[in-house]
Amino acid sequence: MKQEGQEVVAETIRSVLQDLRSQIVNGLITQENLKTALANVETAVGHRLRCSLQYSLRSVINATGVILHTNLGRAPLSPQALDHICEVAGSYSNLELNLDTGDRGQRDMHVQNLFERFLGRLDGGNGARKMQTIVVNNCAAAVLIALNTLAEGGTVIVSRGELVEIGGSFRIPDVMAKSGSILCEVGTTNRTSIRDYERAISQETRLLLRVHRSNFAIVGFTQQPTLPELVALGRKHKIPVFEDQGNGSLVELRDIAGVNESNVADSLRTGVDLVSYSGDKLLGGPQAGLLTGRTELVKRIRTNPLFRALRADKLTYAALEATLLGYIRRDHPSLPILRMLETKPAEVLRRSETLKELISGQTSRPGHLNLEIMEGRSLIGGGTAPTSSLPTYLLAVTVAGRSADHLQKKLRENDPPIICRVEEGQVLLDLRTVSPEQDKAIAKSLVTLSAS
Ligand SMILES: *Cc1c(COP(=O)(O)O)cnc(C)c1O
């Protein structure tokens, strides 16, 4: 027990002995079983020690089929991103040093060129415009610093249909108040026209804001001006248009997953002046907030003192740089989020069948555990594509005499914990979000469960 440290070991022994004493006082341990209790002390100390030294933040298996699960840490990183984090984290780095000149550099320089390759020169209908990108802690921070820099003391026009709550108390009206800008809401919940925006424009207007409806949809009798219409209005009145795009996708989602969602380039191509998005949603990188837009606007944001408070750390830059290089190498399979989006239902079916056979072959009580494969849908999740889902296959698990909730809890107690969905009294496992190396761990856990 040397490696645990003397202090924590002594403390644990004391607490185990204390429990033993109270059990004796309360008559739970008698003359007859005292010997056994004493013999178990060492095991009890070992167990308690392991528990108290276990990490709270653990790796789990996501069998929910929700690709960007906010409660499960959103995007898993590519192996290259992990390697790069390790390399940079354990030593000094050129985070803010220009190795060519020896001068102080900006941390953004590490990803600037990469973003430029994807988003640097998108024609917004008025010739190629040069775009820059900066990185902050998350997309909420990106929205805050953009509003504060570009609209403090002035008004920002937003449709009433876009005054959204993204979750975790990130509400557009509240963030706007914190940024020191004044909300000017126009239109109605379901219908807002471009005329509504135009009528609201005044001397005080600093921005036209479009917020992506990330986690809900308005259907039925609806109207919303297109981004190009907003851009045209902004140009006419010389007011920048800022879109909180959110999902951060750098690929054609229609092509790779048949999902009808726009990406960052689509937004910039409309001529929007500034776009904010997350690093750990469909981009598949680390938690970060990205702001891409007209060089002049981005420069102003960079000099805002808030930038220092909201900036990202070196580990984020390392992961982001490696993630973007994955796109440049066109190595989509290395990026877990893209791999999951691109996985064909037939592949999920094949793995589910293999898993079913593996379990059936190993279980000691075949009639006890019932496995069925059925069609279902995987969700993109993470507040990105509220109405989009992908066809998949689900492994429905039932164990005789056990409720689905009980089974779900048992799977959660597995090491590593397995997180699943429960629908209509059945535990459902979607292997789309499980990495193939984890299939065996699921099989093992279900075999153990069926035996108990
Ligand atoms: C997800 C999302 C946010 C919040 O992003 P975080 O990176 O979680 O801070 C803000 N706006 C939109 C439109 C989003 O989809």
Which DSSP state fits 57?
S
Please determine, for residue 305, whether its predicted confidence score (pLDDT) is greater than 90: yes
> Edge-to-edge, what's the strand order for the sheet holding 289-294?
121-123, 128-136, 289-294, 274-278, 241-246, 205-211, 155-159, 182-186
| Residue 116: closest CA among 248, 253, 265, 243 | 265
Indicate whether residue 261 lines ligand 1 (CB < 6 A).
no
Q: pLDDT tens digits for 29-42?
A: 888 888 888 899 99
pLDDT of 206 reads 98
Provide the b/e sequence for 189-219 (b: ≥16 CB within 10 Å): eeebbbebbeebbeeebbbbbbbbbbbeeee
Backbone angles phi, psi at 318, to 5 degrees: -60, -45
Lowest-confidence region among 174-188, 365-379, 429-443: 365-379
pLDDT value of residue 5: 86
Q: For residues 55 and 124, what is the distance between their CA atoms, to the nearest angstrom?
A: 49
- Give the DSSP H/E element, type plus range, for residue 239: none
> 254-297, pLDDT tens digit by residue?
898 888 888 999 999 999 999 999 999 999 999 999 999 999 99
Closest among 160, 94, 20, 65 to 314, alpha carbons compared: 94
Residue nearest to atom 5 of ligand 1 (CA): 139
d(C-alpha 330, C-alpha 21), whole Å: 64
pLDDT reported for residue 1: 53
Q: What mean pLDDT comes out for the span 5-13?
A: 91
**Predicted local distance difference test score (pLDDT) of residue 127:** 54
Find out whether 261 and 253 touch, Cβ atoms under 8 Å: yes
Q: Look at residue 121 in the predicted model and tell me its pLDDT.
A: 67
Range with lowest mean pLDDT among 136-145, 228-237, 253-262, 376-385: 376-385
Q: How many residues does the chain have?
A: 452
DSSP 3-state assignment of 311? strand
- In the predicted model, what is the mean pLDDT of residues 221-226? 91
137 Cβ closer than 6 Å to some ligand 1 atom: no
Q: 400: part of which helix (H) or strand (E)?
A: none
Read off the pLDDT of each residue in 62-91 and give the average, rounded to a whole number: 96
Contact present, 305 and 139 (Cβ < 8 Å): no
Q: Are 149 and 178 in contact (CB under 8 A)?
A: no
Question: How remote is the CA of residue 208 from the centroid of ligand 1, in Å?
Answer: 18
User: Residue 99: CA atoms inside 13 Å, Cβ hemisphere, count?
Assistant: 5
Q: Got the DSSP string for 158-171?
A: EEGGG--EEETTEE
pLDDT for 32 equals: 86
Dihedral angle over CA of 44, 46, 48, 54, nearest 10: -160
pLDDT of 124 reads: 55
Ligand 1 pocket, mutate which of 278, 281, 290, 291 (most atoms under 8 A from CB)? 278
In terms of Cβ atoms closer than 10 Å to its own Cβ (0-12, 13-18, 19+), residue 226 is exposed
Tell me how far apart the alpha carbons of residues 316 and 322 are, in angstroms, rounded to a whole number: 10
User: In terms of Cα–Cα distance, which of 416, 236, 448, 436 is closest to 351?
Assistant: 436
DSSP line for 223-236: B---HHHHHHHHHH
Distance between Cα 275 and ligand 1 center (Å): 12
* CA–centroid distance, residue 183 to ligand 1 (Å): 19
Residue 244, ligand 1, Cβ within 6 A: yes
Q: What is the mean pLDDT of residues 416-420?
A: 97
Q: How far apart are CA 253 and CA 399, in angstroms?
A: 38
**Would you say the CB of residue 278 lies under 6 angstroms from ligand 1?**
yes
| CA distance between the termini of the chain | 32
Percent of the chain with pLDDT over 70: 96
Residue with CA at minimum distance from ligand 1 atom 15: 246
Give tens-digit pLDDT for 110-150. Answer: 999 899 888 866 655 555 678 899 999 999 999 999 999 99
pLDDT bucket at 152, cuts 50 / 70 / 90: very high
Separation of CA 157 and ligand 1 centre (Å): 19
The band of 221, judged by pLDDT with boundaries at 50, 70 and 90, is: confident
**Do residues 268 and 355 make contact, with C-beta atoms less than 8 angstroms apart?**
no
Residue 353: predicted pLDDT: 97
pLDDT for 182 equals 97
- Could you tell me if 65 and 376 are in contact, meaning their C-beta atoms sit under 8 angstroms apart? yes
Rounded to 5 degrees, what angle do the CA atoms 364, 367, 369 make?
80
For 241, the token pair is 């248009």
Which of 136, 166, 380 gets mutated to test ligand 1 (max ligand atoms within 8 A of its CB)?
Answer: 166
214 lines ligand 1 (CB under 6 A): yes
- pLDDT on residue 19: 93
Predicted pLDDT of residue 164: 87
**Residue of minimum CA distance from atom 2 in ligand 1:** 246
**pLDDT for 384:** 66
Tell me the sheet residues that pair with 391: 377
Compute the mean pLDDT over every residue in the chain, rounded to the nearest whole number: 92
| pLDDT at position 235 over 80 | yes
Q: Is pTM, for the whole model, over 0.85?
A: yes
Please compute the mean of the pLDDT values over residues 314-326 and round it to a whole number.
Answer: 97
Provide CB contacts within 8 A for 394, sequence distance 6+: 65, 352, 373, 374, 375, 376, 428, 429, 430
> 246: CA distance to ligand 1 center in Å?
5
How large is the average pLDDT for residues 186-207?
Answer: 95
pLDDT band at 2 (very low <50, low <70, confident <90, very high): low
